[in-house]
Amino acid sequence: MKTGTQKREMKKTDGRKDYQNKEGKSFEKGKSGKKKADMAKRDDAFKGDKNNRKSRPGREEDRQSRVSGVSREDWHSKKPKAGRDDNRESRKLGAEPGNRGSRNSGAEPGNRGSRNSGTESGNRGSRKSGAELGNRENRKSGAASGNRENRKPGTETGNRESRKPGAVSGNRESRKPGAASENKQKRKFGDSGEGRKNSKRGQSGEKKQSDLKKVNGMEICPVSKKCGGCQYQGISYQEQLKLKEKEIRKWIGKFCKVNAVIGMENPYHYRNKVHAVFDRDKRGNPICGVYQAGTHNVVPIESCMIEDQKADEIIQSIRGLLKSFKIRTYDEDTGYGLLRHVLVKRGFTTNEIMVVLVTASPVFPSKNNFVGAIRKLHPEITTIIQNVNARGTSMVLGDKEKTLFGKGYIEDILCGCTFRISSKSFYQVNPVQTEVLYKKAIDAAGLMGNESVIDAYCGIGTIGLIASKKAKQVIGVELNKDAVRDAVTNAKRNEIENVRFYCADAGNFMADMAAQGEKADVVFMDPPRSGSTEEFMDSMVQMGPERVVYVSCNPETLGRDLEYLTKKGYGCKGSWGVDMFAWTGHVETVVLLVRKG
């Protein structure tokens, strides 16, 4: 007679499941009941029910068995086993199948975490050569069949962007042969994945000074094509000077002799003013760099071959502090966010450093702590300023600003004069070549000490104050009120009394002077890239200066203005190019014009 347990026992017959009740009557489960039974079986399997597993000795192609030579009958024998099939934490050699945590060689298939050679098929994490077939991420030569993308002998198969022989497969951040997967070390430029997620020390798509490539023995910036700032990459410096001389001759060669361009002794890291725009990448990480040429897409840059290195370090430190202080970068599309730009100026001679934080709002949470954190990282900073730009324009600086630390300005020494430099005032970015440029301009003027001089577009008064030592009197005119304030301070700072500065449009100012019958012996004019105006030049011609020294940063507009002045009674006596911007297509030019007759 059957016991109650035997009556309830499930039997497998022709693919159908029959059950017997206590009375011995059997019945076939309906369709819905069959589904429920199947689901119950799967639940038992996932839960790892030991009794349920043992109750199915006939399960076809026993999925749990991974040991070769073990028969279905031996599986339930009472003989001691090498290791229980469900011992998931086993760490020893010869661990039974299903051991997900095994780390040693010889681990059976299905060991997802195995890292050593000799692991069986199905080992998804295997990293070394000799791994069995089916290892999807095996990357070295000698890998078993199934390696679909083997490319080169010794390189990792299936590694879509493999850069170095022996680099570990699947290791997106790996740098060294044999490094484990998910190694989040700092990525170096040259590996695939430009623009990937930030590392702790870098930013998405970052390009660094150490990443410079060499073409024909010359260093090439890795982002030159996207940045567009350095148009002469890959061209020797001497060849650059010849190209710039050719450009000058193209526009003004018909007016005067064009002398060779005066080059730099060291054409690297010459910019003492660095501007970085801040944004976020697709993953929300803060990035900083420059606008891509012709767009407002930010190209992440960690260091630049023409920018001051200390300024670059400070900017990267500020970027690194944003997350911890929960400061969001400004989004031009939505108008949300706080930090828009960072501007760093450094005095070449004094080594004083100014940091300007351009924000979209005057409200700056935790600004004192933020400033303190910046100073802790860079104690060499002498002043920090918050500039507020709430306008939705492409202008970098706004009208309002507040000094957060220090005196609010820096000083530098140029041609023996000390100059005060504020956040908004114009100051040449290459101090070494600026001295060369200004000395050439003042020498061309031929000052004897009794001349009345006008310094038009004077900025902070650099040319006028330097020339004042050789002139009777100097009048400077500048539209930027902050620059004029600095110019007045600079005159007092250098104890120069024969200079006066006016805040006005240069064209209107010259027209007023001409109307009043004022005269000038020498005029220095240093207009913006757009060149001068007819109003200014007409008024200047009426004042009748003997000599005009034109300092230009754009040969094309210089040629246009020379065309006008030569028709008004002036002749060009010579031109001198000065390279202020190595690796770019820009060049400064000094031209001497003398009144005819």
Ramachandran category for residue 260: left, alpha or beta (phi over 0 → left; psi -120 to 50 → alpha): beta
Partnered with residue 355 across adjacent β-strands are 344, 384
428 has binding-site annotation: yes
237 has binding-site annotation: no
Residues in the chain: 597
Neighbours of 413 (CB within 10 A): 14
* Residues 6 or more apart in contact with residue 223 via CB below 8 angstroms: 207, 289, 299, 301
DSSP per-residue codes, 225-267: HHH-S-TTTTS-HHHHHHHHHHHHHHHHTTTS-BPPPB--S--
- Write b or e for each residue in 142-156: b if 16 or more Cβ atoms lie within 10 A of its Cβ, otherwise e: ebeeebeebeeeebb
* Residues 6 or more apart in contact with residue 2 via CB below 8 angstroms: 20, 24
Helix axes 555-566, 534-543, angle to 10 degrees: 40
Answer yes or no: 230 catalytic.
Answer: no
Distance CA 577, CA 589 (A): 4
- Write b or e for each residue in 566-589: b if 16 or more Cβ atoms lie within 10 A of its Cβ, otherwise e: beeebebeebbbbbbbbbbebbbb
526 has binding-site annotation: yes
Strands 16-20 and 417-421: unpaired
- Write b or e for each residue in 315-331: b if 16 or more Cβ atoms lie within 10 A of its Cβ, otherwise e: bbebbbbbeeeebbbbe
Q: Kindly report the three-state secondary structure assignment for every residue of 480-540.
A: CHHHHHHHHHHHHHCCCCCEEEEECCHHHHHHHHHHCCCCCCEEEECCCCCCCCHHHHHHH
457 has binding-site annotation: yes
Which one from 221, 230, 417, 553 is the annotated catalytic residue?
Answer: 553
- Extract long-range pairs of 151-159: CB within 8 Å, 24+ residues apart: none
Q: Please report, in range form, the residues annotated as the binding site for S-adenosyl-L-methionine.
A: 428, 457, 478, 526
Residue positions annotated with a catalytic role = 553
Q: Please report, in range form, the residues annotated as the binding site.
A: 428, 457, 478, 526
